[in-house]
Structure 1
Amino acid sequence: MTDILRISVPLTAWLVAFSAVYGLHGLVCSDRWVAAGLDLAVGRAAMAAAWIVAIALQVALLLALRSPRFASPSAFMRGVSLTLSVTALVATLWTLMPVVTTSACL
């Protein structure tokens, strides 16, 4: 694994999860969701499932970056990649929590 991937993958995964969950939120609140025969409870469950998958992915990336197989040989790059991975995990928890825990549609 190259150093650029070690640095960029966790934050890119957060960006993808952020876009997916908020896009799903927009879909759940649209008329198309009801037209498909789905209700708000299914939408909330789908958003919660997407959030849990995003958290699991971030934890897996963090554990992979800590393992000797994927860790950088450079101590500096190891520290940077682990710091960014923890940052991406916290961002996943913090920025996606309001969509999952508050009212879905206003």
Structure 2
Amino acid sequence: MADESDVVKEQTTYKDGMVRSITMRPTESDTYPCGWKYRLHFGDTNGNTILRYDNSHELEKGHERHTTDGVEIIDFPGMMVLHDRFLREVDEWWEQNE
């Protein structure tokens, strides 16, 4: 079982109403065979999603990437690789929307 000190929870709310929220928790639960329960979210304070990676339904659906275009199933590359990909994609969004 994961120690609470192993859980990463970070939320940043920007002055323009955007939110970046990261939750990553190592787990030995059979519900999450990859060993992680995670949600990497970027959107606005009205609840709209621009980008989100999660495995909320890993056994049924696998790992998901949510965008304004819909949901796609992705291969899980490892937690830190996915975390870094998420941060890079959020940075790219900012660059394109400034």
Shorter-chain TM band: under 0.3
Structure with the larger strand share: 2
TM-score, normalising length: structure 2: 0.28
Larger Rg: 1
TM-score, normalising length: structure 1: 0.26
Structure with the larger helix share: 1
